[in-house]
Amino acid sequence: MSLPLPLHVVVGAGAIGTATAHLLAESGEQVRVITRSGGGPDHPLVERIAADVTDADRLAGLLDGAKTLYNAAAPAYQDWRTAFPPLAAALLAAAGRTGTDYVMLGNVYGYGPVDGPLTPDLPMKPNSDKGRVRAAMWEEALAAHRAGRVRCAEVRAGDFFGASAQGLFPLVAVPAVLAGEEAVLPVGLDAPHPWSYVGDVARTLIAVGARDDVWGRAWHVPSTCDSSPRELMGRLAGAAGAPAPRLRTMTGAELDAAVAADAVTAELPEISYQYAHALRLDASETERVLGVRATALDRVLDELVRNAR
């Protein structure tokens, strides 16, 4: 008699949630993907369920028998202040009630400005509204972990990059560069910056969820590169055989107009400090302890170019 496959629950079916569910299923694990729409990857080992994940009671029922809960969901960028706290609270409560290990997908906003590399043991010192939201989510989960109510950890990534990635540069700069057009961005372009390949983020989440010695702390995703945005787009243009990229930062007047016209752009000025100075993400512990290493940039660029064609 064969034993039932372990069940993992992934909340969210964006780029990271989909990649995480797909990798788990491809390794022979049973996966339940929960979204409002019931979307997710098409795979024999993936069950897709439509549910409101801010309903802790409903979510707890869907976690029954699960080994690990991966939170890869996020509200619309402009709604983080109001929509993220109830989402995070429901996930944390449901994981605690059911005894499900809880792996959170995070970012580096909670650190605020830091001189030197970002290490996962740094305290939360956010200087933005979105950073304060992310920091509070982690601090509440960590408090629950320390109280013995849930085992949790957070995986923190730099800017998402790859063919399926969502974000300022994948959605604005990449298409413009591949088309040989000018890209005008609301942030600086010349400081080193961490870029996290979607597949590496998913592999780090899974590596954390598979162990017993990783809980109660953060883990960083190894960066596929630490190039400045301008350098990275130059590498992309070279890989695609496209003209040298034409990138520039918005003028003050252009930024004011863009902020007034678009709710998402209005959220960017408070995190623009991350592009004004060198930002480096130290993931040496992830590499040493979890054995996760970054995918080579050339491979990521090749994927982007093939996907665009």
pLDDT of residue 1: 40
Please, which residues have CB within 8 angstroms of residue 160's CB and are 6 or more apart in sequence?
15, 16, 166, 167, 170, 196, 198, 201
**10-51 per-position pLDDT tens digit:** 999 999 999 999 999 999 999 999 999 999 999 999 999 999
CA dist list (Å): 270 to 59, 95, 130, 294: 33, 32, 8, 28
pLDDT tops 50 at residue 164: yes
Confidence of residue 80 (pLDDT cuts 50, 70, 90): very high
Q: Distance (Å, rounded) from C-alpha 165 to C-alpha 198?
A: 6
Number of C-beta neighbours around residue 161 at 10 A: 28
Confidence of residue 5 (pLDDT cuts 50, 70, 90): confident
Pairing of strands 152-156, 101-106: parallel
pLDDT of residue 140: 98
pLDDT tops 70 at residue 112: yes
Are 153 and 215 contacting, i.e. CB atoms less than 8 angstroms apart?
yes
Please, which residues have CB within 8 angstroms of residue 1's CB and are 6 or more apart in sequence?
none
Percent pLDDT > 90 in the chain is 97
Mean pLDDT taken over the chain: 96
Going by C-alpha positions, the residue among 161, 233, 153, 239 that lies closest to residue 194 is 161
Q: Distance (Å, rounded) from C-alpha 168 to C-alpha 176?
A: 12
DSSP state, residue 281: B
**260-270 per-position pLDDT tens digit:** 999 999 999 99
pLDDT tops 60 at residue 2: no
Identity of the residue numbered 193 = H
Total-model pTM: 0.96
pLDDT tops 50 at residue 3: no
Whether domain 7-158+197-222 has CATH 3.40.50.720: the reply is: yes
CA dist list (Å): 234 to 190, 196, 293: 12, 17, 24
pLDDT of residue 299: 97
**84-96 per-position pLDDT tens digit:** 999 999 999 999 9
Element (H, E) at 285: helix 284-285
Confidence of residue 290 (pLDDT cuts 50, 70, 90): very high
pLDDT tops 90 at residue 286: yes
pLDDT of residue 4: 64
Confidence of residue 309 (pLDDT cuts 50, 70, 90): confident
CA dist list (Å): 117 to 113, 142, 277, 284, 287: 11, 23, 12, 11, 16
Q: Distance (Å, rounded) from C-alpha 189 to C-alpha 172?
A: 13
Q: Distance (Å, rounded) from C-alpha 70 to C-alpha 202?
A: 10
Are 156 and 106 contacting, i.e. CB atoms less than 8 angstroms apart?
yes
